[in-house]
Amino acid sequence: MQRTDAPRKAAALPAYTAVGTPGYFQDTEPTGGTEVSAEFLNQIQEELCNVIEAAGLTLDKADDTQLSAAIALGVAALISAAADTGSVSTTHRRAVIAGQGQATGDKAVALACGQAGGFPTIVSGTAAVAAASYGALVSGDYSAMLAAFYGVVSGDHSVLIASAPGGYTLATDDTLAGAAGGALTWAVHSDTGDAEFTGRVEADEVELPVGSNETACILTEAVAGTTADGASISKTESNSKIAADSIVLWSFDFSGTGGYMSQGEALVTSGQVIFRIVNGSGATISAGTWTISYVIINPA
């Protein structure tokens, strides 16, 4: 597309006249059809040209596809559908959405990010994301950074959350860290009050350095024989970090044949906790395995 180069064209866009009464074209009025003014044609021309030029394209009189190309550029990284899209792939696989940033990695996204201290947010990892971050760098593949200032995630399959100003580097693969030192916060809500605990994620436990010896553990127990309907299974776990007034939060997963188990109670005494699950399925359950995840919270 190109702006008109016809004879007797204006060298510059003429000033628009005052707005009249809007209406519609017609060709049945007795004195003749609606007059097509130069002002109206200029408006149509400028609307079309502005879309093309805003997309970074140079007007080309010999190219009749520029408008469609400009629109396609704006949606090439987006597929929207009311139903399941099925397996699809966008034409463009890098996106910056509602922010300042640079997406260089394949399938990389910078969402609502910005520039801080002259350092832009850059997402160069494959299938990586930076969201609500400033001056951030995500170079690890399949990694993410959320709500961070000057953070760096160079490890693969890693996530950095809420890094404080001053920055934090997450270089280890398969790591989850929060805040400037890798700390995370858990909120615990109960009828007797709410509390927050801050700690650090490790490979097989969570250390909660609030009060004394808060910790989280995972244990697996094999179940032999059968469990009749209404019967229970108990597991006694000895742990020196458990006190008589400890709070134990727990959940379990059970795999067996013939039915399902329901969560029972956790009986806490000094140095140990007894977990109990109950067969409420109405059938006999064959041998299986149950895995318990629990957190010990000791008063400060």
Cβ neighbors of 38 (< 8 A, separation 6 or more) are 10, 14
Which domains are seen in the chain, by residue range?
38-75 (no CATH), 94-178 (2.160.10.20), 187-297 (2.60.40)
What would the two tokens of residue 130 be?
Answer: 């930076």
What would the two tokens of residue 6 be?
Answer: 């016809």
- φ/ψ of 215, rounded to 5, equals -155, 160
Q: What is the pLDDT of residue 38?
A: 94
Count the Cβ atoms, other than its own, within 10 Å of residue 185.
Answer: 13
Give 184's Cβ-side CA count (13 Å radius).
15
Q: What is the pLDDT of residue 208?
A: 45
**Over the stretch 61-106, which tens digit does the pLDDT of each residue have?**
999 999 998 888 877 878 888 899 888 888 888 999 999 899 999 9
Distance, in Å, from the CA atom of 152 to the CA atom of 170, rounded to the nearest integer, reads 6
User: Which secondary structure element, helix H or strand E, spans residue 43, and what is its range?
Assistant: helix 38-54
Q: What is the pLDDT of residue 179?
A: 58
Q: What is the pLDDT of residue 167?
A: 58
Q: What is the pLDDT of residue 203?
A: 36
Q: What is the pLDDT of residue 120?
A: 86
Q: What is the pLDDT of residue 215?
A: 59
Q: What is the pLDDT of residue 201?
A: 42
User: Which secondary structure element, helix H or strand E, spans residue 45, and what is its range?
Assistant: helix 38-54
DSSP string, 190-210: ETTEEEEEEEEE-SS-EEE-S
Residue matched to tokens 């707005």: 19
What would the two tokens of residue 8 be?
Answer: 């007797």
CA angle 208, 212, 217 (to 5 degrees): 45
Distance, in Å, from the CA atom of 73 to the CA atom of 59, rounded to the nearest integer, reads 15
Handedness of CA 170, 172, 178, 180 (dihedral sign): negative
Which stretches in the chain have pLDDT values below 50? 180-183, 185-213
Question: What is the identity of the amino acid at 2?
Answer: Q
**Over the stretch 21-39, which tens digit does the pLDDT of each residue have?**
999 998 887 778 888 999 9
pTM of the predicted protein model: 0.49
Count the Cβ atoms, other than its own, within 10 Å of residue 65.
Answer: 10
Q: What is the pLDDT of residue 33?
A: 87
What would the two tokens of residue 258 be?
Answer: 């013939």
Cβ neighbors of 89 (< 8 A, separation 6 or more) are none
Distance, in Å, from the CA atom of 238 to the CA atom of 240, rounded to the nearest integer, reads 7
Q: What is the pLDDT of residue 60?
A: 95
